[in-house]
Structure 1
Amino acid sequence: MDRRLFEAAETGNVQQLHQILTENPLILHSVAMASAENPLHIACMAGHVEFVREILRSKPDFAKEVNQDGLSPMHVASANGHLEIVRELLKVDGNLCRLEGIREKKTPLHYAAVKGRVEVIADMLLACPECVGDVTVNGETALHLAVKHSQFEAVKVLVEWVREMKIKDIVNCKDEQGNTVLHVAAWKKQRPVIELLIHNEAVIALEINAVNQSGLTALDLLKIFPSEAGDREIEEILRGSTVGAISARRGDSHNIHTTPAAAASFAASRTSLVQPKNLEEYFKFKKGRDSPSNARNSLLVISVLVATATYQVGLSPPGGVWQDGEFRGQSIMGYNSEVTFLFFMFFNSVGFSVSLFMINILTANFPMHSELQISMLAMFATYSIAVVTIAPNRLKLYVTIFTSVLPSLVRPVARGVRQLIWKHRNSRISSSGC
């Protein structure tokens, strides 16, 4: 993006924008072609209403574009609570509040609910009533998110809207784990939310005894996660409803149809509101749900931990070193079992080399990356000198080969392993006929 245009958007300088457009009337079109982020995103972030109006007047299509984080200008404005900007964007297209972000498929209404932007929520509902039913990749509505993030004022606005519009399905919508808003409120011990829902239960057709995928009602969740105070009052509120809350564990088939599978699921659900059926699949990285930046940060932490552990173990191998005599400073393990020592040094050096390689990749394009590379090279040099020094004389050559050859092999070996995994996956997909 042109530097002057960026500065104008950042400061909200409408006069400078007009000057830039006079000099180059096509600059906004070139920005749309060359950059993921347009000046409308920046102005929405900073809250410059007049600048937003001018941009929308010249280039209304910017309102539907997403930035590098997969967020539209409406996402940015709603999350920051810039009501006037939200209204300007809604004038362009009322359905902008239904745009799904790349991450988790959250709409601007979802972001407003998470942040408790009450006025923004109200305006969005007026402009596009259907947006109240939009769900995230986890099946959560704006009402789910407002309760989950303890935004009671936002909950009140949403419930009042549902009550007035008589949209009875919203409060009983279930997320991917089968939890309704009442489940979440019971888990979070949010008495005001539960009172609000129970007070309007007849109008909003609240299902008091809805069962989630673990076979639990809201009352079950309340009891599974006991707190020091307030549980008894909340339980009385639930039981005092028109239908009367019950526990699925009591096997009341008249109100709730439980199965042996649901009963078994209950035992597995005592530690979590949303216990997944397959923990291995649940914790795997998933595109669209998990942020690549978060994955990178996690990998960086893990690689640093591995580098630290392998460096320390390399300098202090099991059994220690001789403290005196002819072999002082050399590994005791190396003399007692040469083969074991060689295997130990080989795999430890592999772990150390790969962790440094990962750190180098994950920090690429970071500020002062060259300085970081120098420090990592120095660290590898000290590691190599140390492990060669403590190796018995008969094994020094082998250890030297490990430490000098491994760094050059890390990249091609890693690439080869990835290619083998990729081919294996493709062959499995082909054999399955997908």
Structure 2
Amino acid sequence: MANIRELHAAAWLGEIDTIYKVIEQDPRILEEVDAVPFVNTPLHTAASAGHLEFSIEIMRLKPSFGWKLNEQGFSPIHLALQNNQHNLVRRLVEINKDLVRVKGREGVTPLHFLCQSGDDNKNIKLLIDLLEACPDSIEDVNVRNETALHIALINQNLSAFRKLVHWLVKNVRKGADSLEVSILNWKNSEGNTILHIAIINDNEQAFDLLIGSIKVDINARNLENQTALDLAEARPLPTMNRKLQDRFALFINRFRRGSIVLVMDRIKAEVSEEQRNANLVIATLMLTVIYQTVLSPPGGLTQGSDNDPSGKNLLNSTSSHNSTAAGKSVMPQKTFYLVTVLNAYVFLFAIGIIISMLPKSFSAFAVFSILYFMTSYFVSEAVIWP
């Protein structure tokens, strides 16, 4: 017991050397602390005091301390957050990103804690850092089945709420679409979605942020069988009521401002490497075949004679009614038009496949090359037009 007290004293002062002195006296002391289900470990003490190097050292020696809850139901990272030790939190998460998901009292994770804290820049920046380090943490809920978005709205932390919604909308990881739909329409223990809560709290800014998204289900019902429109009418909130009824127009406006690049990035994330390679090969073959019809169209091209470079005297007399110059397709105009339209559809479809399958790091360079290639194709079509 004396050794444990000495270890905590060292943690409070940040004296790393003392750790090893205590371990020399009792090599199993860290295991003894870890064996207690709920205990204030030296990492708890160091995290509360903000001793970064000591915390990292003890975490390295005993990684399981990062998950331990003390008698009050807090982990070391929770205590660090309570004491505004943001850099220490970041370093612990660098060691183990899953610590973002450790649940303390009432199921509150570090992400939840920041959502219910103040909306100053340091808290918001750390919130985004934790979310980027462990994106799966957006799915964690507390004992009231509330996500981080619920908690941010309930605590009037609009800055955190905006950042979370923005991250969901811009997310391009695999499964991003289904995740966005799930989180935006998640119901807490009372059956309320974040749209319900925005109306209950008369938070028009949060409401406007949600109502423009097609992913938000405005017809979702809570346990009292109320939709968002029911709540807006009952309060009453005429502005929200009107916006709910005009939601289609709002969505069209939002869609026009939407990013096609985002949609393409999400498509890329859903495709495996094998599927990507197969699609690129197929699209390349399609482009090769289509471009070949410009170089060698069905029936060939009209030819000019050596004595008549202008091509007015045609070698192929059977096609003289189709063209008056060399290098033109011998096909009748209607047939050529039909072939050109069909080829253009296939050509653009293949181009779309290639652009959507390209890795993001190569897209900027490749898109310009593809645009030049498209220009070449359509100019060539115009040149041989009968």
Query: Smaller-chain TM-score range?
Result: 0.5 to 0.7
| TM-score (structure 2 length as normaliser) | 0.55
- Cα distance per residue 1:178-234 (max 9 Å; x no partner): 1100101110111221122234x13xx1112322121212233234345xxxx4444
Question: What is the aligned-residue RMSD (CA, Å)?
Answer: 2.7
Give the AA of the match of 2:232: L
Aligned partner of 1:74 in structure 2 is 77
| Mapped partners of 1:240, 1:158: distance in 2 | 25
SS at match of 1:71: coil
| Mapped partners of 2:113, 2:250: distance in 1 | 34
Which residue, 84, 88, 111 being the options, matches 1:109?
111
- Within-5 A mapping of 1:34-433: 36-101=39-104, 103-116=105-118, 117-165=123-171, 166=176, 167-199=180-212, 201-202=213-214, 205-225=215-235, 231-242=237-248
8 Å CA contact 2:48–2:80 kept in 1: the answer is yes
8 Å CA contact 1:81–1:112 kept in 2: the answer is no
Aligned partner of 1:7 in structure 2 is 9
Greater Rg over alpha carbons, structure? 2
Cα 1:180–1:243 shift into 2, 3 Å:
farther
| Mapped partners of 1:186, 1:44: distance in 2 | 39
Cα 1:14–1:244 shift into 2, 3 Å:
same
8 Å CA contact 1:178–1:212 kept in 2: the answer is yes
Cα 1:12–1:239 shift into 2, 3 Å:
farther
Give the AA of the match of 2:227: T
| Mapped partners of 2:15, 2:166: distance in 1 | 40
8 Å CA contact 2:34–2:64 kept in 1: the answer is no
8 Å CA contact 1:94–1:127 kept in 2: the answer is yes
Give the AA of the match of 1:242: F
Aligned partner of 1:32 in structure 2 is 34
Cα offset for 1:98? 1.8
Cα offset for 1:134? 1.5
SS at match of 2:108: coil
Cα 1:80–1:163 shift into 2, 3 Å:
farther
| Mapped partners of 1:15, 1:240: distance in 2 | 67
Cα offset for 1:172? 0.6
Give the AA of the match of 1:181: I
| Mapped partners of 1:235, 1:140: distance in 2 | 25
| Mapped partners of 1:238, 1:48: distance in 2 | 51
Cα offset for 1:26? 4.0
Give the AA of the match of 1:104: E
8 Å CA contact 1:144–1:181 kept in 2: the answer is yes
How many residues are treated as equivalent by the alignment? 237
SS at match of 2:247: coil
Cα offset for 1:45? 2.2
Cα offset for 1:48? 2.3
SS at match of 1:104: helix
Cα offset for 1:128? 1.8
8 Å CA contact 1:162–1:168 kept in 2: the answer is no
8 Å CA contact 1:45–1:77 kept in 2: the answer is yes
8 Å CA contact 2:219–2:227 kept in 1: the answer is yes
Gaps of 5+ in 1: 246-434
8 Å CA contact 1:208–1:243 kept in 2: the answer is no
